[in-house]
Chain A
């Protein structure tokens, strides 16, 4: 149980275009999902916390107009990178918290999406 999927796993896009990344909790409901960004050989940086039915909470320094987050249901959150630039190239990972899990502090991570902007 507690599986989180991401789609796509890899995407290459041209500079100036927008890219949408989906994060799904497959076998549990997640009120809260988190979006992280990971640079090569570095740790995960929390970008935003996404709550179903409400606006996302962005971390300091993350542009909310550039990284649009929509959490339309208890099993789906999307991250849209708008007007992508090469510096947006990164590994994006989502996680979800299981409402019914043994610990409300457990987060389950998706496999990540590798974004390359050319």
Chain B
């Protein structure tokens, strides 16, 4: 079935690392994504990882993928107040002739001094 799960809330201190976790169900997903949404705004693509990779690093962002456990994580190093937002993971699902993004419920990251 189509189900992407995330914890709903994470609170971290400024300067610490944040780790947001996600589990997905479709083992055939070729790409997995992390999006950021600030209040009242659309989604910003942060990064994505191809399913044949275990890790992808992009500046302060590190994505880890465990295909066996269908587990995806996003680590934000040196978290800043500007990182406060909702983070969505998403998997690609091929259905009805199209590739569709299936989103998790989103993790609200709160960064405090």
Contacts and interface: CB of A to CB of B under 8 A. Distances in A.
Interface of A: 4, 6, 32, 34, 42-44, 46, 49, 57, 93, 95, 103, 105-112, 114
Given A44-B103, A46-B100, A105 B30 contact: yes
Given A44-B103, A95-B43, A105-B48, 9 more contacts: A42-B105, A49-B98, A57-B98, A107-B45, A109-B42, A109-B44, A110-B42, A111-B41, A112-B41
Interface in B8-62: 30-31, 35, 40-45, 48
Interface residues of B, number: 23
A32 B88 contact: no
A4 B104 CA distance: 22
B1 interface: no
B104 A43 contact: yes
A44 B43 contact: yes
B97 A57 contact: yes
A80 B101 CA distance: 22
Interface of B: 30-31, 35, 40-45, 48, 88, 92, 96-106
Nearest to A5: B42
A75 B12 CA distance: 40
Nearest 10 A/B pairs, CB to CB: A109-B43, A111-B42, A109-B42, A43-B103, A112-B42, A43-B105, A105-B31, A44-B103, A49-B98, A110-B42
